[in-house]
Amino acid sequence: MEVVRTIKDLSKIIDNQRVSGSKIGFVPTMGALHQGHISLVKRAGEECSFVVVSIFVNPTQFNNKEDLERYPRDLGADVALLEKTKCNLIFAPTAEEMYPEPDTRAFNFGDIENVMEGVYRPGHFNGVAQIVSKLFDAVRPDNAYFGLKDFQQLAIIKKMVNMMNYPITIVPCAIVREADGLAMSSRNKLLSKEQRENATVISKTLFDAVKLKDNYDVESLKKWVTETINNNPYLDTEYFEIVNDTTLQPINNWDEKVNKIGCIAVHCGKVRLIDNVMF
């Protein structure tokens, strides 16, 4: 396994792999890796002959400077974790490498970016599209692997791939959870012991909501989930929406013939956690 810091060095290796006929799998990350990330790398290793993992905390997708500064970083630990996987190459650029000049591109994803995360994190998805497109241009993968925990982000990336005609297959991968149900996230490392214990209320409430849905209409269930979580003094729900899993627009009743997903964002102290479940 090799670690490179520049697009030039990355391109040389990718060119050689292309010549040798390798199928290239790509897992973009912001580091602070956990078993959720590793599950993506494992899937990529099963389906591709050469696996690239990027580690880059992208400043343009943070609309909160404090959140950017607080985001956990430990490249040494990340490299050690990836050495035990089928990762062949780590791309760990600096901000100057990825943004030698400001990226002024503005993406328009329509209705799917104007709900949920788009409401509470203005500019976030434009930053995601900027960096993912830059990484796609540099790595030129056949397959790219993304976790379903960031469900709206996945929808944005799929749309970007179509808009920009990238010959890349986007592979969604299941949410990986801790033994107590909490969705794995790099941000979990920022939780205190007490916060970590109480954060499990989020997933437990979502799982209960799936079981209870026949007892409530959509709006009443949304209210029940929000109130149940907010009754915990450590938690404050930012939003909980039940939406069409393709358009991401809210559903009004259970009879709608679409796949339905419940997406949530909750503040636990200063740490913002997201999760989702299928209904």
Cβ-based neighbour number of residue 133 at 10 Å? 19
Single out the catalytic residue among 34, 37, 124, 267.
37
Single-letter code of the amino acid located at 140: R
Determine the Cα–Cα distance for residues 180 and 254; give it in Å rounded to an integer: 29
In Å, how far are 60, 158, 162, 163, 172 from 169, measured between CA atoms? 24, 9, 10, 14, 10
The angle, 0 to 180 degrees and rounded to 10, between the axes of the packed helices 7-19 and 124-139 is 50
DSSP assignment of 6-68, as one string? SHHHHHHHHHHHHHTTPPEEEEEE-SS--HHHHHHHHHHHHH-SEEEEEE---GGG-S-HHHH
Determine the Cα–Cα distance for residues 157 and 163; give it in Å rounded to an integer: 10
Is-catalytic flag, 37? Answer: yes
Backbone torsions φ then ψ of 209, nearest 5 degrees:
-60, -40
Determine the Cα–Cα distance for residues 77 and 74; give it in Å rounded to an integer: 6
Q: Checking DSSP bridges between strand 271-278 and strand 260-268, what pairing results, if any?
A: antiparallel
Query: Residue 31: CA atoms inside 13 Å, Cβ hemisphere, count?
Result: 20
- Asked if 109 contacts 133 with a C-beta cutoff of 8 angstroms, the reply is no
Chain-centre distance for alpha carbon 41: 14
The catalytic residue positions are: 37
